[in-house]
Amino acid sequence: MKLQILGCYAATPRTLTNPTSQVLEIRNHLFLIDCGEGTQVQLRKNKIRFSRINHIFISHLHGDHFFGLPGLISTFRLLGRDKELNVYGPKGIKEAITLLMKLGDSWTNYQLVFHELKEKRPVLIYEDDKVTVETIPLDHRVYTNGFLFREKPSDRKLNVEAVGKYNIDKAYFRNIKSGNDVILDDGTLVPNEVLTFDPVAPKSYAYCSDTAYRPELVPQITGVDVLYHESTFLETEAHLSGKTKHATAKEAAAIAKAANVGTLILGHYSTRYKSIDLFKEEATEIFPEVELADDGKVFNL
């Protein structure tokens, strides 16, 4: 699992800071999460192949999470894309994109599928044999979802030596990797744990931006390996966080601690602060495993 930050600053794109967008590589998928203005250029700068993006998740319809999407959809068209593109986002996203395509008489020549969200409880929005994605309802000024990405458990790993020792035919390997025992020709049962090793534990990633402090989300994200939680402000600006429905670094850390996550990644920083290190300092007082997102940064998880 690999997370590549394209942009992680609040409000407006600036010369050296980009609004929110990130790419999660998970079991060979490349999921694009949010798409602020300039995301397509950030994709190029970070050498991400456009053709590998088939699913885009939009948390909410504020410009700094969404205004790069019309251009990206348009660029996919100009690049001759033919693969289906799936967009998951709040109700209204289809109307907006469709209107822009209509006004420019620029319809995509690939299938563009919108999955509009309006539920206020967690919903499974994507599933295949390798991963699931569900919404994490957040508390912001407009309807907003985070997203919880979970790998499904992998097959168990074959113990080649043990399988050879019992002279088991290849035809059974798939069955063994799925966790089944084997009964030999002489009737002996060989338990699965003798024939396999544990697989790599499935990883999970919770993306929570934008949101006010929201302890209600703790049960859903408890135990995730990595939590990205917005920290627009420091505690010194706590009076702004309530009004704007954003969180402080301290609040993000409190969520991480209560949910017992592996690592907390902070982001969505207001640009009013001199250094983003201040966010880490504040958060580590509550929760030790803190990382700072930054534009262009890659986390190998």
Nearest distance in Å: CB 124, its own copies: 24
Among residues 2, 44, 52, 165, the one that binds its own copies under rule CB under 8 A:
44
Burial 136-145, CB ≥16 within 10 A → b, else e? bbbebeebbb
Residue 227, number of CB atoms within 10 A of its CB: 26
Q: Is 14 in the site for its own copies (CB under 8 A)?
A: yes
Specify the pairing of strand 2-7 against strand 298-300.
Answer: antiparallel
SS3 for 40? helix
Nearest distance in Å: CB 118, its own copies: 13
Q: How many residues bind its own copies (CB under 8 A)?
A: 36
Q: Is 152 in the site for its own copies (CB under 8 A)?
A: no
Nearest distance in Å: CB 80, its own copies: 12
Q: φ and ψ at 195, to 5 degrees?
A: -95, -10
Nearest distance in Å: CB 90, its own copies: 8
Q: φ and ψ at 63, to 5 degrees?
A: -55, -40
* Residue 210 among known ligand-binding residues: yes
Whole-angstrom distance, CA of residue 149 vs CA of residue 22: 13
Q: Is 80 left (phi over 0), alpha (psi -120 to 50) or beta?
A: left
185 catalytic residue (yes or no): no
Q: Which two tokens stand for residue 158?
A: 């074959």
Residue window 93-132: x/- pattern of binding to its own copies, with contact defined by CB under 8 A: x-xx--xx--xxxx--------------------------
Q: Whose CA is closest to 150, among 94, 204, 87?
A: 204
* Residue 169 among known ligand-binding residues: no
Q: Whose CA is closest to 123, among 161, 89, 94?
A: 89
Do 26 and 41 form a contact (C-beta atoms < 8 A)? no
Q: Which stretch binds its own copies (CB under 8 A): 22-30, 36-44, 203-211, 218-226?
A: 36-44
Residue window 58-97: x/- pattern of binding to its own copies, with contact defined by CB under 8 A: --xxxx--xxx-xx--xx--x-----------x-xx-xx-
* Residue 115 among known ligand-binding residues: no
* Residue 140 among known ligand-binding residues: yes
Do 90 and 116 form a contact (C-beta atoms < 8 A)? yes
* Residue 60 among known ligand-binding residues: yes
Q: Under the rule (CB under 8 A), what is the footprint of its own copies?
A: 11-15, 37-38, 40-41, 44-45, 60-63, 66-68, 70-71, 74-75, 78, 90, 92-93, 95-96, 99-100, 103-106, 141-142
Q: Which residues are annotated as a binding site for Zn(2+)?
A: 60, 62, 64-65, 140, 210, 268
Point out the residues that are catalytic: 64
